[in-house]
Copies of this chain bind each other. A is one copy, B any other.
Amino acid sequence: MAELETSKLSEAFSMNGGDGPNSYAKNSTLQRGVVDATKELLSKAIAENLDIETLLSSKTFHIADLGCSVGPNTFFSVENLLEAVEFKYQSQGLNSQILEFQVFFNDHTPNDFNMLFKSLAENRRYYAAGVPGSFYGRLFPNASIQMVHSSYATHWLSRVPKEVADRNTPAWNKGRIYYSNSTDEVVMAYEAQYAEDMEYFLHVRAQEIVHGGLMLLIIIGRPNGTPHSDSRANITFQILGSCLMDLARKGTVSEEKVDSFNVPMYCMSPQEVEAAVERNGCFSIESIENLPAVKPPDNVSKTQLFASHMRAAGEGLVKHHFGEEILDELFDLYQKKLEEQPSAVESGKSISFLVVLKRKA
């Protein structure tokens, strides 16, 4: 037997593990809001698009959550999916007693699967498995998955575009950590990386998902027609970059170190996703819909929320490159900058959208 088509991914990043004050588990309130806001949209998408033939193709309904992190949001999402599938099953007069669920929780190998497993509810009504590895590679056997779900994960690229960190190319990203406020060459390098990653993502998923199976992607991105520099998510990374340059000026880190640091994230628009799906050709686009904006809880300021979330999501990247010592100083400075210029962030444009794809027969 040939070796599996393995992942292209050489660099793996994961959210903060454990359950400490800066952990992703304790700082994913925004995403939890998304889970709740999405519930209705997901239920509708499943009710309208899940075919009976797909439901009946196997006694076990296999769901994969890609980029699951450590919980708890992945568990809430999965419960919502199960409920919607069962509802569809029952609404067709089928006896749900005979339907069993197996859920595959996927994330990069360095993800804290130990914590994920400990957090699994004891009385869950599905069989759980953890699947380590990049979703930019094959994770599952051919035609073995009825439903793929991924929330707030596909904006991570498989890697930083190589030329961006190479001082001998025109795309060298000196003095910045991100593409959105950079030169055309850097922007183009990121766009090309995104296109390649998304092409590969769709290619491997098309092999894994059964005909008629659904892929539900919740993506944070920018509205159609928005320049990269006006995207809110991008602005927050630009600010983090300026904080790092401040630390370089203070001598806390070297400027060279900042030059060689780049965030492997890309803020896509719905149109870009559509184009990629059409190029791939294996999926039909059932719907693309914006999610309702999520309000932060009353007792937390937007700035605090942005800051704590950036730390939970980005700390791993920063630590990996700069070491642990700079974390507190950097993220304190980051929160201060956000507070000084709240309008910079708030004027940025941001959308989260749900893409519903069906694997063509």
- Give which listed residue, B86, B113, B139, B141, contacts A114 with CB less than 8 A: B113
Closest Cβ–Cβ distance, residue A49 to chain B (whole Å): 21
Interface 0/1 of A109-125, CB less than 8 Å to B: 11011100110101111
Whether the pair B132, A120 counts as a contact (CB closer than 8 A) is: yes
Q: How far is the CA of A132 from the CA of B123 in the complex (A)?
A: 14
Query: CB of A163 within 8 A of chain B?
Result: no
Which residues of chain B are within 8 angstroms of A140 by Cβ–Cβ distance? Answer: 102, 127
Query: CB of A246 within 8 A of chain B?
Result: no
Whether the pair A4, B130 counts as a contact (CB closer than 8 A) is: no
Whether the pair A109, B118 counts as a contact (CB closer than 8 A) is: yes
Of A71-79, A92-100, A232-240, the one contacting chain B is: A92-100
Task: Given A124-B4, A127-B4, check contact A142 B59 (CB 8 Å).
Answer: yes
Interface CB pairs A-B, < 8 A, 18: A1-B86, A2-B97, A2-B125, A4-B124, A4-B126, A6-B122, A6-B123, A59-B141, A59-B143, A104-B129, A110-B114, A113-B130, A127-B139, A127-B140, A127-B141, A128-B133, A129-B129, A130-B130
Q: How far is the CA of A130 from the CA of B138 in the complex (A)?
A: 16
Query: CB of A60 within 8 A of chain B?
Result: yes
- Give which listed residue, B109, B130, B142, contacts A129 with CB less than 8 A: B130
Q: Which 8 A-B pairs have the closest CB atoms?
A: A117-B132, A129-B129, A60-B141, A130-B130, A100-B141, A113-B113, A129-B131, A1-B96
This chain's copy number in the assembly: 2
Which residues of chain B are within 8 angstroms of A113 by Cβ–Cβ distance? Answer: 113-114, 117, 130
Which residues of chain B are within 8 angstroms of A123 by Cβ–Cβ distance? Answer: 3, 6
Query: CB of A144 within 8 A of chain B?
Result: yes
Whether the pair A60, B142 counts as a contact (CB closer than 8 A) is: yes
Q: How far is the CA of A140 from the CA of B112 in the complex (A)?
A: 22
Which residues of chain B are within 8 angstroms of A114 by Cβ–Cβ distance? Answer: 110, 112-114
Number of contacting residues on A, CB 8 A?
A: 42
Which residues of chain B are within 8 angstroms of A102 by Cβ–Cβ distance? Answer: 140-141, 144
In the complex, the chain B residue whose C-beta lies closest to that of A208 is B127
Which residues of chain B are within 8 angstroms of A122 by Cβ–Cβ distance? Answer: 6
Q: How far is the CA of A132 from the CA of B129 in the complex (A)?
A: 7
Whether the pair B127, A130 counts as a contact (CB closer than 8 A) is: no
In the complex, the chain B residue whose C-beta lies closest to that of A122 is B6
Which residues of chain B are within 8 angstroms of A1 by Cβ–Cβ distance? Answer: 86, 96-97, 99-101, 125
- Give which listed residue, B100, B104, B128, contacts A132 with CB less than 8 A: B128
| Most chain B C-beta atoms within 10 Å of own C-beta, residue among A59, A118, A123, A132 | A132
Q: How far is the CA of A97 from the CA of B123 in the complex (A)?
A: 39
Interface 0/1 of A40-63, CB less than 8 Å to B: 000000000000000000011000
Whether the pair A60, B144 counts as a contact (CB closer than 8 A) is: yes
Q: How far is the CA of A173 from the CA of B130 in the complex (A)?
A: 39
